[in-house]
């Protein structure tokens, strides 16, 4: 008897009919002789609805109370799924994140899992029950309810698979696997049969919404067998593993993108050796993620610093910078909204020089202005105007021969 962790996202449990479909999927896995742990998200647009309700009351609700509110979404799903499984003749028990022993750091709205106490879950599995766990949530050592950030149910599932020593973790979603880019934007996108942990981690960090980055990180660190597959169609998905099969010797395996990017520029910084570390340490203490960074010295012997952030973090970033202006020592700050980030990813870049040059050339030929650039061994990212994002993605997807008709 093996142990399989199954995760179902919000679309897969978006109605009673779909919850019954999930219950059937769980039953079939159980009938194959495996123990099953199921992790579920809130139904459909529940989380968005709860956020909307909060905004009607407060434009700046505390993160603690938002966690208290948002975790109710998954609690509804786990109870309904437990009822559906019992109607199908299976013994099942549902747990919230804190009942399941998922401990996190004391950070509201974006906590990291620190430990999972598995004894309770293991006992229920030994007794033959299907264990259903609410994704996206946990509890601190002091008993405070926390959430893992949007998409955190993926992380819950992979972390449970690692802690329980599961044979496999299946991520069920509304797509049939991981595609070369988002097929909703690029119709010629095609499904990859497999992809490496490193490539998937880059894609997830760069905007590919099919998997949460922390989930991929957990899978890589603990060597969890991971498969992304459809909850609607019974076909093979995409396997995420240590080394992917070379497909047609493709140097680039995918194109990722995300909008709502803002460039923040700090002007007139003193040329202190510690100024950069002070700025980014201060931002990190407020859990503000900074992405692409560009530094330049001016003729007046000062430094200008630009970095990109999520637009949602702009007000908090400006507030932190203003509150620490005397410590950080700068003249003024400018912000440019309406930007997007487009990235190409592929482990083949390591041994193939000229990939970045080709990317820049292709974008220039399409008259797409590049505002910021970031590179690593297996990815190149460019910040462009938001209105040119889809055009940039389509152009790069075609230029690197990722389309369905290039197979």
Question: Band of the pLDDT at 153, cuts 50, 70, 90?
Answer: very high
Round to whole Å and give the CA distance between 39 and 336: 39
Q: Do the domain assignments include residue 315?
A: no
Q: Which of 107-111, 268-272, 366-370, 402-406 has the lowest mean pLDDT?
A: 402-406
Number of domain units in the chain: 1
Share of the chain above pLDDT 90, in %: 80
CATH number at residue 17: 3.40.1160.10
Mean pLDDT of 29-51: 95
Question: Band of the pLDDT at 208, cuts 50, 70, 90?
Answer: confident
Q: Do the domain assignments include residue 236?
A: no
Mean pLDDT of 179-202: 93
Range of the domain at 114: 3-174
Q: Do the domain assignments include residue 42?
A: yes
Q: Do the domain assignments include residue 140?
A: yes
Predicted confidence at residue 117, as pLDDT, reads 97
pLDDT at 271 over 90: no
CA distances for 388 relative to 44, 308, 395, angstroms: 30, 17, 11
Predicted confidence at residue 109, as pLDDT, reads 93
Q: Do the domain assignments include residue 63?
A: yes
Round to whole Å and give the CA distance between 130 and 127: 9
Residues 323-368: tens digit of each pLDDT: 988 888 888 999 999 999 999 999 888 888 899 999 999 999 999 9
Which residue, 169, 172, 149, is CA-closest to 160?
169
pLDDT at 248 over 60: no
Mean pLDDT of 66-88: 97
Burial class (CB in 10 A: 0-12, 13-18, 19+), 268: middle
Q: Do the domain assignments include residue 369?
A: no
**CB atoms < 10 A from the CB of 406, how many?**
14
Q: Within 193-233, where are the H helices?
A: 197-205, 213-222
Q: Do the domain assignments include residue 102?
A: yes
Predicted confidence at residue 307, as pLDDT, reads 95
Averaged pLDDT of the chain:
93
> Which phi and psi angles does 170 have, rounded to 5°?
-105, 125
Predicted confidence at residue 247, as pLDDT, reads 61
Round to whole Å and give the CA distance between 66 and 111: 13
Mean pLDDT of 67-79: 97
Question: Band of the pLDDT at 134, cuts 50, 70, 90?
Answer: very high
Mean pLDDT of 48-67: 95
Q: What is the DSSP letter of 245?
A: P
Which residue, 258, 259, 265, is CA-closest to 336?
265
Q: Do the domain assignments include residue 164?
A: yes
Question: Band of the pLDDT at 276, cuts 50, 70, 90?
Answer: confident
Question: Band of the pLDDT at 242, cuts 50, 70, 90?
Answer: confident
pLDDT at 249 over 70: no
Mean pLDDT of 314-322: 94
What is the model's pTM?
0.85
Question: Band of the pLDDT at 406, cuts 50, 70, 90?
Answer: low
Residues 285-313: tens digit of each pLDDT: 988 999 999 998 877 778 899 999 999 99
């Amino acid at each position: 008897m093996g142990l399989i962790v199954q995760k179902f996202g919000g679309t897969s449990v978006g109605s009673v009919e779909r919850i019954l479909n999930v219950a059937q999927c769980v039953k079939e896995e159980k009938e194959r002789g495996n123990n099953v742990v199921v992790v579920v998200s809130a139904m459909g647009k529940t989380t968005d609805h709860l956020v909307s309700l909060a905004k009607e009351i407060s434009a700046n609700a505390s993160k603690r109370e938002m966690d208290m509110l948002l975790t109710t979404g998954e609690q509804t799903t786990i109870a309904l799924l437990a009822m559906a499984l019992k109607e199908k003749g299976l013994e099942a028990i549902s747990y919230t994140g804190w009942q399941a022993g998922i401990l996190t750091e004391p950070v509201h709205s974006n906590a990291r899992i620190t430990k999972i106490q598995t004894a309770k879950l293991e006992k229920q599995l030994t007794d033959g029950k299907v264990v259903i766990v609410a994704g996206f949530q946990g509890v601190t050592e002091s008993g405070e309810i926390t959430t893992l950030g949007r998409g955190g149910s993926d992380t819950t599932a992979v972390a449970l698979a690692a802690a329980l020593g599961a044979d496999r973790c299946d991520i069920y979603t509304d797509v049939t696997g991981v595609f070369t880019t988002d097929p909703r934007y690029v119709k010629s996108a095609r499904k990859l049969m497999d992809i490496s942990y490193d490539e998937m981690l880059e894609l997830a960090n760069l905007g590919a919404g099919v998997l949460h980055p922390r989930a991929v990180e957990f899978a890589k660190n603990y060597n969890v067998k991971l498969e992304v597959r459809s909850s609607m169609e019974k076909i093979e998905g995409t396997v995420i593993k240590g080394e992917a099969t070379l497909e047609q010797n493709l140097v680039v395996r995918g194109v990722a993108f995300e909008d709502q990017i803002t460039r923040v520029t700090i002007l007139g910084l003193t040329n202190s050796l510690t100024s950069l570390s002070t700025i980014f340490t201060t931002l990190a203490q407020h859990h503000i993620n900074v992405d692409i960074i560009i530094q330049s010295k001016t003729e007046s012997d000062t430094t200008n610093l630009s970095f990109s952030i999520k637009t949602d973090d702009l007000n908090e970033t400006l507030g932190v910078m203003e509150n620490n202006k005397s410590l950080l020592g700068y003249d003024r700050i400018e912000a440019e909204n309406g930007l997007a980030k487009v990235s190409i990813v592929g482990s083949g870049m390591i041994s193939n020089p000229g990939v970045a040059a080709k990317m820049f050339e292709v974008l220039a030929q399409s008259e797409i202005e590049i505002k910021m650039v970031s590179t690593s061994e297996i990815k190149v990212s460019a910040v462009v105007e938001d209105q040119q994002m889809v055009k940039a993605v389509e152009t790069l997807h075609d230029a690197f021969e990722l389309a369905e008709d290039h197979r």
